Amino acid sequence: MERTDQELVRIEKANRIREMGIDPFGHRFDRSHFASEIKDKYKDYDHDKLEELDDRVTIAGRIMFIRKMGKASFFSIQDKTGKMQVYISINDVGEESYNLFKTADIGDIVGVTGKVMKTKTGELTIKCLEYTHLVKALRPLPEKYHGLTDIEERYRRRYVDLIMNEESKRNAFLRPKIIRCIQNFMDNRGFVEVETPVLTTLLTGASARPFTTHHNAQDLDMYLRIALELPLKRLLVGGMEAVYEIGRVFRNEGMDTRHNPEFTELEAYLAFSNLDGMMDMTEDMFQTIGREVFGRLTFNWCGNEINLEGPWKRISMVESIKEKTGIDFKKDMTLEEALKLAEEHNIEVEEHEKSFGHIVNLFFEKYVEDSLIQPTFLYGHPIEISPLTKKNPEDPRFVDRFELFIGGKEFANAYTELNDPIDQLERFENQIKERNLGNDEANDIDIDFVEALEYGMPPAGGIGYGIDRLCMLFTESDSIRDVILFPTMKERK
């Protein structure tokens, strides 16, 4: 491994520290406070009050700034809660400890025990009385004002990004808070969190291309799951009635600011509910996250100010298309008429999309989707694009399904769940026909699931949320890579 001059100097310093009888890569260190705790406790105290208190604290963290001035110096320590300034003097710590400090570089991890004070400029500072070297950083951090300017490297070397970028660190801590809020919300509504298999032999629950792996013991090709749906619905058959899972799913697709090949979903299923129940729950959940985690309901995302206050708009797919184009797909229409409309509007229709329902969806994607900025429940999808959803009793060309759109992006997908095993088997068979026509994202036939339905699944509402996109909205992040700690990246060239 080739070393830079800076790295060679740091390695030499590590050797010097070792010669002092100190492990340059450290051991356990007990601290009494984090930086934010000290600031919160003492921020309103003046210099004289702090002198009178004579409080001692112990902190640990990474050196982010050093100003060496002979026999006294200032430096700052950064822990997970923020930065704290430290004053160190040879008169307070002694010559041996001060010489040890002089080997310090930006990026080193150290411990400090000292007295809380304020400088003449009023900055809260720790006067160091005991200095402990913990870890020597052999690589220098990026320059403070430039950081990791290569965006790809920011995501690839997330550990450096977290050190240098406050926004990245903020997002890293906000995401688990959002997920914990969701779990509490679901638990308080009587749902039970469960786990289902990641490895499967069938492609079901979504339209996507899979990742394939191999189980050696059975000499069996398997897939990484593309959705959570069918195992959870089996639990409804078993009588669990209200279940959810937050888990990774894997789809063999491209990468962009909104898509990562592995991502996190929340799927929930509630017996004896329906589409309206899922709408009410979704609106309540988003508003709960806004209030409890962020204390607000307005967020600026991708250039749009999003207001989560209700009630949210509810509109059918055909109504939304009619608003934009004047075309009423609610009317009876032959396939030939629909194909002619697509041709007149320069919409390309693939062979497996030559059906009324697919053409309706293509019109929606072209004319409507990007315009749904404020939270909107879009319902009434064509049956051809919804193989797991109950038919609408008034018009069997459509199903009881909705998608939640915010900022022109899909955030949730919900159904009044299909529980008719005969209808379900027919839908599966139609998916195979689509695959034979070239749709490589069509579902397999899951005979075991059909058999499960034959034991009787209660009427139910079900919904799936993209957790990563949800975190993007609440953290006001434009890219999915900003809310996934280790996104999938191209290999370094």
Both 179 and 230 in a single domain?
yes
Shared-domain flag, residues 392 and 269: yes
In a domain? residue 352: no
The token duo for 168 is 């990245």
Same domain, 306 and 453: yes
Q: Is-contact 111 132, C-beta < 8 A?
A: yes
Closest alpha carbon to 399 in 429, 373, 435, 360? 360
Pair (168, 112) in one structural domain: no
Coil vs helix vs strand at 389: strand
Please report whether residue 362 resides in a domain.
Answer: no
**Torsion angles phi and psi, residue 290, rounded to 5:** -60, -45
In 368-479, alpha helices (H)? 421-436, 447-454, 467-475
Q: Residue 421 in 3-state DSSP?
A: helix
Is residue 298 helix, strand or coil?
strand
Give the residue numbers spanning the domain of 22.
5-141
| Cα radius of gyration rounded to whole Å, the chain | 29
Whether residues 297 and 387 share a domain: the answer is yes
305 plus 452 within the same structural domain: yes
> Which of 109, 141, 173 delimits the end of a domain?
141
Contact between 377 and 314 (Cβ < 8 Å): yes
Closest CA to 225 of 191, 188, 199: 199
pLDDT in tens, the chain (493 residues): 799 999 999 999 999 999 999 999 999 999 999 999 999 999 999 988 998 988 999 999 999 999 988 899 999 999 999 999 999 999 999 999 999 999 999 999 999 999 999 998 999 999 999 999 999 999 999 886 555 667 888 899 999 999 999 999 999 999 999 999 999 999 999 999 999 999 999 888 788 889 999 999 999 999 999 999 999 999 999 999 999 999 999 999 988 888 999 999 999 999 999 999 999 999 999 999 999 999 999 999 999 999 999 899 999 999 999 999 999 999 999 999 999 999 999 999 999 899 999 999 999 999 999 999 999 999 999 998 887 788 898 999 999 999 999 999 999 999 999 999 999 999 888 888 888 888 777 778 899 999 999 999 999 999 999 999 999 999 999 999 999 999 999 887 6
In a domain, 64, yes or no: yes
pLDDT tens digits along 266-322 = 999 999 999 999 999 999 999 999 999 999 999 999 999 999 998 999 999 999 999
Provide CB contacts within 8 A for 474, sequence distance 6+.
Answer: 174, 178, 289, 290, 293, 294, 299
Q: Which residue matches tokens 């039970």? A: 192
> Backbone dihedral region of 143: left (phi > 0), alpha (psi from -120 to 50 degrees) or beta?
beta
**What CA–CA distance (Å, rounded) separates 491 from 137?**
26
In a domain, 425, yes or no: yes
CA–centroid distance for 262 within its chain: 11
Any domain includes 78: yes
| Residue 125 shares a structural domain with residue 182 | no
Is-contact 161 171, C-beta < 8 A? no
Domain containing residue 454: CATH number: 3.30.930.10
Q: Give the chain's domain count.
A: 2
Asked if 188 and 94 sit in the same domain, the reply is: no
CA atoms of 476 and 482, how far apart (whole Å): 10
Q: Is residue 70 part of a domain?
A: yes
* 190, burial (CB in 10 Å: exposed 0-12, middle 13-18, buried 19+): exposed
Exposure b/e, 447-474, CB count within 10 A at least 16 = b: eebeebbeeebeebbbbbbbbbbbbbbb
CA distances for 51 relative to 88, 90, 127, angstroms: 17, 20, 11
For residues 265 and 180, membership in a common domain is answered with: yes
Bridge-based pairing state of the strands 376-382 and 313-316: parallel
**29 neighbors 111 (Cβ within 8 angstroms):** yes
What is the Cα–Cα distance from 403 to 389, expressed in whole angstroms? 13
Left, alpha or beta for 300 (phi > 0: left; psi -120 to 50: alpha)? beta
Do 393 and 447 belong to one domain?
A: yes
**Same-domain pairing of 280 and 188:** yes
CA-CA distance, 400 to 419, in Å (whole number)? 12
What is the model's pLDDT at position 490? 86
DSSP for residue 150: -
CB 128 within 8 A of CB 86: yes
Task: Assess contact for 76 and 158: CB atoms under 8 A.
Answer: no
What is residue 491's predicted lDDT score, i.e. its pLDDT? Answer: 82
- Which domain-ending residue is among 107, 141, 175? 141
Determine the pLDDT at residue 1: 78
Q: Are residues 106 and 187 in the same domain?
A: no
Query: DSSP letter string over 47-81?
Result: HHHHHHH--EEEEEEEEEEEEEETTEEEEEEEETT
- Would you say residue 341 lies in a domain? no
Task: Please report whether residue 153 resides in a domain.
Answer: no
What's the CATH number where 59 sits?
A: 2.40.50.140
